Amino acid sequence: MKLQIRLFILWMITFCVVPFENAISRDPGSYCLISDQVIVDSLSQVYGKNKLIPKDFELQCLIVLSHFPELKNTHIEFVIKESFAPLSALPKIGTLFLGGDKRKFQVTISDKSTQYMDPILLKNLPFNAQLGVLGHELSHIVDYLHLSWFELIAVAMNYALNPSYHAWMEKKTDLITINHGLGWGLYTYYKFARSLAAKTPEANWANDYYLHYNEVLFEMQKRPYYNEYFLPNTLFKSRNLSR
Ligand SMILES: [Zn+2]
């Protein structure tokens, strides 16, 4: 028993108490919740420009921003408030007609929704799932970044009125997230969300609009970035995505 405890402590030291730079470069699929202010500050210096980030999700937002270097100068406010959708990302209305880096975006993080949405609010997700779903929202911003105001309005109308377009757009956004190295986070999020939706018929509508977690894996397998997890000699690489 004592040996097991010692092995567990060794595992914790090896995989959880590593410097952030090592965590990000060695294994982007298994981030740990490291509450070290020095790490948060160093990430903030590089990726925190023009960003307003609530303390509650500071580390998560900064890790995800580090996967989107093209958003380094983009104005993004992460705002926690009551909202039906667990997360959403939209241009700020007052800046809709501005182009380039002048346009500002808001990521709304819901802290209160309906009873069946509550389990998938950001605050209730595993850490890696939080990264995946925040990555999905930043992927929307990447998608909106170079659209004119007229194109943005057309996208919004199509999204609201055409279910096929809605599904196409959400699945395209999932692919952008996978392309930015957050496939494991997305996989964790969808596995978690679908397991809850299976028990809640009201939540099943969302399944048609997003990739299934097995489709996320399939798309990851096609990309060299994730090779180390799918090559035959790494089939038994252990993963713990629930933390
Ligand atoms: Zn979306």
pLDDT in tens, 144-185: 998 999 999 999 999 999 999 999 999 999 999 999 999 999
Ligand 1 centroid vs 85 CA: distance in angstroms?
Answer: 10
Residue 97, phi then psi, degrees to nearest 5? -85, 0
Q: From the CB of residue 152, how many other CB atoms can be counted at a distance below 10 Å?
A: 16
Look up the pTM and report it: 0.82
Q: How many domains does the chain have?
A: 1
Ligand 1 centroid vs 135 CA: distance in angstroms?
Answer: 10
Ligand 1 centroid vs 140 CA: distance in angstroms?
Answer: 7
**What domain range includes position 228?**
2-234
- Residue 243 within any structural domain of the chain: no
**Minimal CA–CA distance to 137: which of 88, 170, 172?**
88
DSSP alpha helix (H) spans, the chain: 2-15, 20-26, 37-47, 58-65, 127-144, 149-161, 163-179, 183-197, 213-221, 227-230
- Residue 65 within any structural domain of the chain: yes
Between 205 and 25, the higher pLDDT residue: 205
- Residue 150 within any structural domain of the chain: yes
Ligand 1 centroid vs 210 CA: distance in angstroms?
Answer: 8
Ligand 1 centroid vs 38 CA: distance in angstroms?
Answer: 32
**DSSP-assigned states of every residue in 37-60:** HHHHHHHHHHH-TTEE--GGGHHH
- Residue 240 within any structural domain of the chain: no
pLDDT in tens, 39-83: 888 899 999 999 999 999 999 999 999 999 999 999 999 999 999
Ligand 1 centroid vs 174 CA: distance in angstroms?
Answer: 8
Provide the pairing of β-strand 104-110 with 75-81: parallel
- Residue 242 within any structural domain of the chain: no
